[in-house]
Structure 1
């Protein structure tokens, strides 16, 4: 067994590692027309207390509007960003030494996924949705993620949000570790297979199974945080 494969198995586990390798094979043999995604749906409690002592004083947090220009090296297409603003989402960006170091996107009520065809809805008005947390690779061992999440915590709490839901790629070990740091409750999971215009979904959340052939047809997944138990104290690991 190669060193890279052993690392992948250790980080993702057997099931996710096998699906990750299958996803790579499908993408390669199809020239990018086929894609396989496995998502975990989780919720994090939004405390009214800071989760960690703030460091990284040279990291500046901004909240740009829809009309503001993106940095030239922004890692998402402009059409995707505009679509998020159209849905009512907003973003928090972290800057260090005049360079974009990371960002997080936030939205209330629901979110139209832009990686697969799916719509996520939140049953409780005290729940929000965070998505697409990105940190520049060379900053991932520093304080950028913690500063971003602290800014997001303040933003959400000011709006009466007690739980923030998100979907995590089961193939992204760094994202799994980051969410584990701030504590997470699993809400379900889903597997999406896209082959050209066709899409199949198999998940643990209603409707459980869904097939579609056009952008106008997509599953609606509803998440309810109203029965979740609030933890006694923040559990951000230092």
Structure 2
């Protein structure tokens, strides 16, 4: 067994490593027409306690709108960003020395996934969805994420949010490590297999199995955080990690 494979196994485990290798084979053999994704769905408690110590005073936080132009080199396509705004999503951006240092996206209602065909719905008005946390590679050892998440925490608490849900790629070792450190609660998992214009979903959540033959057909997954209220008696530790570029 190669050193690289042993390293991947240690980070992802047998199941995720096998699916990751299968995903690479499918993508290569099909010229990109086939793709496989495995997601873990988690919830994180939105506490009242600020993240301390709060350093990085030279990091500026902004809440741009759809009317604001995208910064040069923004790492997401313009049509994807406009689609997020159209859903009602908001973004928080961090800047250092005039350069975009990171961002996070938040939405208080249902979220239409932009990597696969799926819609995530929230059963409680006290829940939100956070997605696409990105930190510039040169800033991932600093305080950008902490400042971003503190700003997000304040905004979510202002809207009465107690739990924020997100999906993690099971093939992203850095994101898996990061979430393991903050005491997230797992809500389920799903595998998406895209075969040209068709897409199969196999999930631990209703509807469990779904076949999509076109973009207008997609599964809807419901996440209910109301049963997690008792878990919030003790807030999880403040995150001291760096999230990956794409969760």
Aligned pairs for 1:133-144 within 5 A = 133-144=133-144
Contact in 2 for aligned 1:181/1:236 (Cα 8 Å): no
Aligned pairs for 1:81-96 within 5 A = 81-96=81-96
- Structure 1 position 233, deviation (Å): 2.8
In 2: Cα distance, 1:227 partner to 1:197 partner:
37
Unpaired runs of 5+ in structure 2?
241-247
CA 74–221 in structure 1, closer or farther in 2 if over 3 Å, else same: same
User: 1:76: which partner in 2?
Assistant: 76
- Structure 1 position 30, deviation (Å): 1.0
Unpaired runs of 5+ in structure 1?
none
Contact in 2 for aligned 1:202/1:208 (Cα 8 Å): yes
Give CA-to-partner distance per residue, 1:150-196, whole Å, 9 cap, x none.
Answer: 11111100110000000111111122222233331000000000011
In 2: Cα distance, 1:17 partner to 1:221 partner:
25
Q: CA RMSD of the aligned region, Å?
A: 1.2
User: 1:236: which partner in 2?
Assistant: 238
User: 1:205: which partner in 2?
Assistant: 205
- Structure 1 position 231, deviation (Å): 3.8
Contact in 2 for aligned 1:27/1:33 (Cα 8 Å): yes
Q: Give the TM-score normalised by the residue count of structure 2.
A: 0.93
User: 1:28: which partner in 2?
Assistant: 28
Whether 1:114 aligns to 2:122 is no
Deviates more, 1:177-186 or 1:97-106: 177-186
- Structure 1 position 85, deviation (Å): 0.1
Deviates more, 1:46-55 or 1:115-124: 46-55
Give CA-to-partner distance per residue, 1:50-90, whole Å, 9 cap, x none.
Answer: 13321111211111110111122111100000000000000
Whether 1:43 aligns to 2:55 is no
In 2: Cα distance, 1:181 partner to 1:153 partner:
17
For residue 12 of structure 1, give the secondary structure of its aligned residue in structure 2. Answer: helix
In 1: Cα distance, 2:206 partner to 2:92 partner:
31
Whether 1:215 aligns to 2:215 is yes
Contact in 1 for aligned 2:200/2:210 (Cα 8 Å): yes
Aligned pairs for 1:121-200 within 5 A = 121-200=121-200
In 2: Cα distance, 1:14 partner to 1:200 partner:
22
User: 2:245: which partner in 1?
Assistant: none
In 1: Cα distance, 2:102 partner to 2:13 partner:
27
In 2: Cα distance, 1:135 partner to 1:183 partner:
21
Q: Give the TM-score normalised by the residue count of structure 1.
A: 0.96
Aligned pairs for 1:96-107 within 5 A = 96-107=96-107
In 2: Cα distance, 1:149 partner to 1:32 partner:
34
Moved over 3 A (4+): none
Give CA-to-partner distance per residue, 1:82-101, whole Å, 9 cap, x none.
Answer: 00000000001111111111
- Structure 1 position 202, deviation (Å): 0.2
For residue 105 of structure 1, give the secondary structure of its aligned residue in structure 2. Answer: strand
